[in-house]
Structure 1
């Protein structure tokens, strides 16, 4: 009996030690609402809309203490539509992100898997769409990926520790094809400084053959046709050799108010140098398509429960494109608790110039189909709950 008691005590002590050294957490959120658009192909649209302010998801996050300040960690994160139960991100099981790696508090982490690029990590959090304006408030078609439309497969990422408010990092995605090491290659880097009321950030992203490596890297993607059909702002540039994004952002807190701004320059270089079948008329171009984007945003914490936001965004195409897009956004977020909130967002867009196919530009708020005119309005009411 004494031996049995001793054995059970020892096993209990071991189990307690193992539990203290590692943990796994289930987490997620559900975001769902109803949206209205005044002109989608000359028709009014009333629709259920999911993942608006944040994409609906569930995930597993785990860490293991390996000793000496070293930790192993992993994340498996799924995206889904709560109205239908279907997978998002083109049907990938863990389409939002999935990675494994090692981390040390003094030096940072090295991660391997499907991950977010440096534009998302460092400057994306400073745009209105990533805070309160929903994906409808994203920059035209999310052409600079600040709102995290596209992930990166086969990626190796370094993320630094926090050095007195300074963080930095970079990502490299192994592309490659027989006889062409650079094909589908992606790399990015970024830096963020946050101290007191001030936040500053900058990031760079370089994507080879973006139609396949960036826009076409999930289960439903085409290996030969266009995967860049989401927005007429850039859908005619699927044949580009390279997509490049340079982005910066800043925010400053003044009491209950936060003033913010972002700038990005997005270029689709070497048009006609990536083979794409079935491209519509007007897509056969050469040269580079370039875009400036500037956003000014503002949010105000009226009470601990109510936040209001306003933003203006301007996109200007140049070189082989001349599209100009003005976009205004208003939003309100009411927090029922730390986990659950109600939100309302309105977006107005006006477009002019020529789109990526060379035709007259019409308004197209991010994720919606084009308007039949130069103007489009969208409004959304929703609820978000985290766990």
Structure 2
């Protein structure tokens, strides 16, 4: 009997996953972000380009949720990025490069697994506030710069969000593979991501405090030191206006 217990457990988890896959509420969604970019350098020719993803990456996705009763829900998110100007996927190796998430909701909060956006980035698990310029082209983007002001997406991740306490939720995330190839390596040879954060949200005010680090224990260990981020940001809705502020150390 002992030898069959792991098999029974795997079958039970597989049945649980299939129930989530055939969710009772399934939504097909997307976003198209397209613009015209005109450039002219001194002594150079003027350029005129159609560019996809100025304020947000163009994407399409499928998400669903199944109510299991007793306050318990299971859901999934599959999201793919693409370029409007040529129709190409933003990744040639990943079927859903923006997010692939399976989560469980309950009175304990939300537990999410998959390829996720970090706490200081975006996607369903991100809590960054105050980044007014998004990921736009050029130096005004929050993602621009040689060192990058955020960690983006990570594979083999698990994230936890607590229930809301007076508008405040606490968040934690861990990834055993920040690179796509990390799943092929031993645990000690991967780059590991760790994140902790707190988010306050109301109709007129929202702010977050986030601590993040990547240890670079994988292939970058000899060339990169561990990188630490502390990010504080928020916005305040005043009528038609929304002032934003953000600070990072």
The answer to whether TM tops 0.5 is: yes
User: Which structure 2 segments of 5+ residues have no match?
Assistant: 1-22
TM-score computed with the length of structure 1 as normaliser: 0.50
Deviation, 1:44, is 4.2
| Residue aligned with 1:128, SS | coil
| Residue aligned with 1:164, SS | coil
Q: Indicate yes or no: 2:203 matched with 1:200.
A: no
User: Which structure 1 segments of 5+ residues have no match?
Assistant: 1-20, 213-223, 227-237, 266-387
CA contact (8 A) 1:182 1:208 kept: no
Q: Please tell me whether Structure 1 or Structure 2 has the larger radius of gyration of its CA atoms.
A: 1
- Name the residue aligned to 1:129: 133
1:39-58 correspondence to structure 2 within 5 Å = 39=41, 44-58=46-60
Q: How far apart are the structure 2 equivalents of 1:115 and 1:22?
A: 23
Deviation, 1:168, is 2.0
Tell me which protein shows more strand as a share of its residues: 1
- Return closer, same or farther for 1:196/1:60 CA change in 2, 3 Å cut-off: closer
Q: Structure 2 residue aligned with 1:181, among 161, 164, 188?
A: 188
Q: How far apart are the structure 2 equivalents of 1:41 and 1:118?
A: 43
Q: Aligned-pair RMSD on alpha carbons? A: 2.9
CA contact (8 A) 1:129 1:135 kept: no
Deviation, 1:56, is 0.8
Q: Structure 2 residue aligned with 1:71, among 60, 64, 73?
A: 73
CA contact (8 A) 2:174 2:193 kept: yes
CA contact (8 A) 2:176 2:190 kept: no
- Return closer, same or farther for 1:41/1:71 CA change in 2, 3 Å cut-off: farther
1:162-177 correspondence to structure 2 within 5 Å = 162-175=164-177, 177=185
Deviation, 1:43, is 5.6
Q: How far apart are the structure 2 equivalents of 1:196 and 1:68?
A: 29
Greater relative contact order (CA < 8 Å, ≥ 6 in sequence): 1
- Figure out how many residues of one structure are paired with residues of the other and give that number: 214
Deviation, 1:122, is 1.8
- Name the residue aligned to 2:148: 143
